[in-house]
Amino acid sequence: MLLAGLTGSIGMGKSETAKMFAALGVPVYDADAAVHALYDVGGTAVPLIEAAFPGTTVGGKVDRQRLSAATLNNPDAVKKLNAIIHPLVGEAQIKFLHDAEAAGAPVVVLDVPLLFETGGEARVDAVIVVSAPAHIQRERVLARPGMTAEKFESILKLQTADAVKRAGAHYVIDTDLGLDHARERVAYILEDLKRRDAKVWHQRKAAAQNRA
């Protein structure tokens, strides 16, 4: 089973691109969704975050606005939060991979916003980066409810630069070229990944036969 890491900075169109892979039948692990579950009522992270950041949980779940305020422009607070969340997200990811492999999936996509920031690019077989020009990224993000220029700039400071991500990618999807272009690119990447997977499988089979 081949692991493809899908990533991109805020506002680049990663979530929409992940849906395109899912529409083609690819199992997609959504790190953001995993975090939402951890933050919700009954989530494992709720008591841990309340202990680390008192007053950031309400009604048995994490209040994302309060948590954002507690970590905004505070690198140490962000590190403390990541130390809580990343191991829990990792556990959920391992279960997803086991289930996908048991189902016989040839390719899975790991939708991870902070793939480069956490060194995750070294743990996947291929890196897919979604990208767009900076002015389009800014327009998209500032159009979101509750988003401010200050918050946007704060988030950018915590993310690896788009140019660095593009340089480290096996595939790039330019989301400013329209949905049809993105779908075509997704379809091409999936077929290319399957060819890679088949080649690796044949190499392993040949090696095993030679040892027999």
- The domain limits of the chain are 1-27+108-149+167-212, 30-104
Amino acid residing at 160:
T
Query: Under CATH, which number does the domain 1-27+108-149+167-212 receive?
Result: 3.40.50.300
Same fold? 1-27+108-149+167-212, 30-104: yes
Neighbouring C-alpha atoms within 13 Å toward the C-beta of 180: 0
Look at residues 190, 180, 195, 152 and name the one whose alpha carbon lies nearest to residue 25.
190
Phi, psi of 24, rounded to the nearest 5 degrees: -90, 10
d(CA 159, CA 151): 13
Query: Under CATH, which number does the domain 30-104 receive?
Result: 3.40.50.300
Three-state SS at 210: helix
Neighbouring C-alpha atoms within 13 Å toward the C-beta of 12: 27
d(CA 134, CA 11): 9
28: which strand partners? Answer: 109
Q: Who's near 68: CB < 8 A, 6+ residues apart?
A: 151
Whether residue 130 contacts residue 17, with contact meaning beta carbons closer than 8 Å, is answered with: yes
| pTM given for the model | 0.77
pLDDT in tens, the chain (212 residues): 899 999 999 999 999 999 999 999 999 999 888 899 999 999 999 999 999 999 999 999 999 999 989 998 888 999 999 999 989 988 888 999 999 999 999 999 999 888 998 898 998 999 999 999 999 999 999 999 989 999 999 899 889 999 999 999 999 999 999 999 999 999 999 999 988 877 766 665 566 566 55
